[in-house]
Structure 1
């Protein structure tokens, strides 16, 4: 029971306490790639910890299996591992399905969200075939709409879309700046990060980690794309372009240059901050790598 209590406490810390601290961390917006890595690590850690905690709460006291080795054996993941007790009964087998469901639930939602997003993107691509005008000059599709907007449809058949309103509102240099932002989304496969956070939030609705991870991931990937665009374009150019397209609405499955947290990003672009100290970055990486291993160490203990 001590092991179960430790794991439950660790799951509470990871799922409820750490997310609020990480979402307010000063270094996160200065190193968005590192921050995304930290959020992904927290989600993996929570799944591991919750799975092991439920296993120990439901089965360990019945001595059905011997610790983590017993759990892996029951799941068929440790071939030839010794059993610590008799073959589980039907109620015990059903109880074993509960920790397995904690792992399978986010995986199932990931498959479902991926399928839905792919269908939605395909419908939008079919629509662009009818109403869009391919523009090789910009490597994009132009849509006859007065509201300034620039966005991309990621995935296998990626597409960058520009409205006529954006072409009228943006200068040539501003347009190339937002195009660089959109291509950064495509090259970085940022839609996959959105999918992971969305699937986790649907698997664990109401969990603070799920809410914060989804919100922060959406903001951080926009910051990553901003940084990529700033490698080639001046800050004032990108900031002005962001203001022009900030009001443009884009499809839910698209990533737009206006994007999440436009005001926060605008301040960040115009007021650059130094990157976190190397010691801070190494500490975050180390903590992110170690965090999912701690519950395994606890579960493997005597």
Structure 2
């Protein structure tokens, strides 16, 4: 039986319907780390579904598993499933998923290297112009514009302007510095690079656009939650307000920016953790959703 209709339908649902469902849900802002994992799991599931859909469209009805033996080994197929004389359809069925995987990998590497190059150049300028503050564990720049941001990577830096040091109270200063340290410790630049890579390959799909936008928002919320472990909501909120108009260079992560209004409402609003049942179900979803296209393909291919 041909798997194409089922796989194409699943791909369309994940790429166009799933983002709307997630965006209308209220729980992601209460569990941003879990929400980021779910968004990325859905992106992985979509990528696998696209590969399998393409393979099923070019393969004869009864040869999907033979052509994808290497990719669908979880279906219980052995190496002997491959036909001794594969034709063009067989090669396309393996080649298309391979090309897609390479495209995603190359895109991820490209965004990672490009951001690293920009950060390296900016880090050199920061080290040349700024002065290291042992008390703040940050590099202080002699700028009259308030700014606080971090340069993640192998040699991370937290950068703060003298104007921000003067404007923020000691408690507010500690809160925004904790926020930036959370970005560095969480390696959020890798998560953002993965979202950018997915968007670059599938930019025509709503899921890709929303994965990039929501990942950028959710990593900021994760850093906010880290700062709230040591500081009150009022302290963090006022610090975010002061830094709302601050800009960060490319490749950097900042406590301010265009997401401040959404995050301010979240920080100052009622804070309720997701119900354990909801949290558990979403965690299971994050783990299992990448496997759904394979599980969908197996019964049809075995028939």
Question: Could you say whether these structures have the same fold, taking a TM-score greater than 0.5 normalized by the shorter chain as the test?
Answer: yes
Q: Are 2:46 and 1:14 aligned? A: no
Q: Are 2:156 and 1:158 aligned? A: yes
Q: How do 1:130-279 residues align onto structure 2 when only pairs under 5 Å count? A: 130-279=128-277
Whole-angstrom CA distance in 2 between matches of 1:238 and 1:71: 48
Relative distance call for 1:97 and 1:229 in structure 2 (3 A) is same
Q: Tell me, yes or no, if the aligned pair for 1:59 and 1:96 is still in contact at 8 Å.
A: no
SS across alignment from 1:200: helix
Relative distance call for 1:119 and 1:83 in structure 2 (3 A) is same
Whole-angstrom CA distance in 2 between matches of 1:199 and 1:147: 32
CA RMSD of aligned residues (A): 2.0
| Aligned length in residues | 298
Whole-angstrom CA distance in 2 between matches of 1:300 and 1:177: 51
Match of 2:80 in 1: 82
- The alpha-carbon deviation at position 193 of structure 1 amounts to 0.8
Higher mean alpha-carbon deviation, 162-171 vs 152-161, is at: 162-171
Q: Tell me, yes or no, if the aligned pair for 1:64 and 1:88 is still in contact at 8 Å.
A: no
Whole-angstrom CA distance in 1 between matches of 2:272 and 2:90: 55
Whole-angstrom CA distance in 1 between matches of 2:130 and 2:228: 28
The runs of at least 4 aligned residues of structure 1 exceeding 6 Å deviation read: none
Structure 1: gaps of 5 or more residues = none
Match of 2:279 in 1: 281
Match of 1:38 in 2: 38
Whole-angstrom CA distance in 1 between matches of 2:72 and 2:247: 48
Q: Tell me, yes or no, if the aligned pair for 2:3 and 2:297 is still in contact at 8 Å.
A: yes
Whole-angstrom CA distance in 1 between matches of 2:104 and 2:47: 9
Match of 2:122 in 1: 124
- The alpha-carbon deviation at position 164 of structure 1 amounts to 1.3
Q: Tell me, yes or no, if the aligned pair for 1:222 and 1:260 is still in contact at 8 Å.
A: no
Match of 1:4 in 2: 4
Whole-angstrom CA distance in 2 between matches of 1:57 and 1:163: 56
C-alpha distance after superposition, 1:5-57 (max 9, x if no partner): 10111111111110121122101101101101101110110111111111111
Match of 2:56 in 1: 56
SS across alignment from 1:176: helix
Whole-angstrom CA distance in 1 between matches of 2:151 and 2:46: 31
What TM-score, normalized by structure 1, do the two folds share? 0.93
SS across alignment from 1:295: helix
Q: Tell me, yes or no, if the aligned pair for 1:60 and 1:67 is still in contact at 8 Å.
A: no
Whole-angstrom CA distance in 1 between matches of 2:261 and 2:214: 14
What TM-score, normalized by structure 2, do the two folds share? 0.92
Match of 1:66 in 2: 66
Whole-angstrom CA distance in 1 between matches of 2:200 and 2:4: 25
SS across alignment from 1:82: helix
- The alpha-carbon deviation at position 194 of structure 1 amounts to 0.5
Higher mean alpha-carbon deviation, 292-301 vs 149-158, is at: 292-301
Match of 1:47 in 2: 47
SS across alignment from 1:291: helix
C-alpha distance after superposition, 1:255-283 (max 9, x if no partner): 00104410010011111320111111111
Match of 1:96 in 2: 94
Structure 2: gaps of 5 or more residues = none
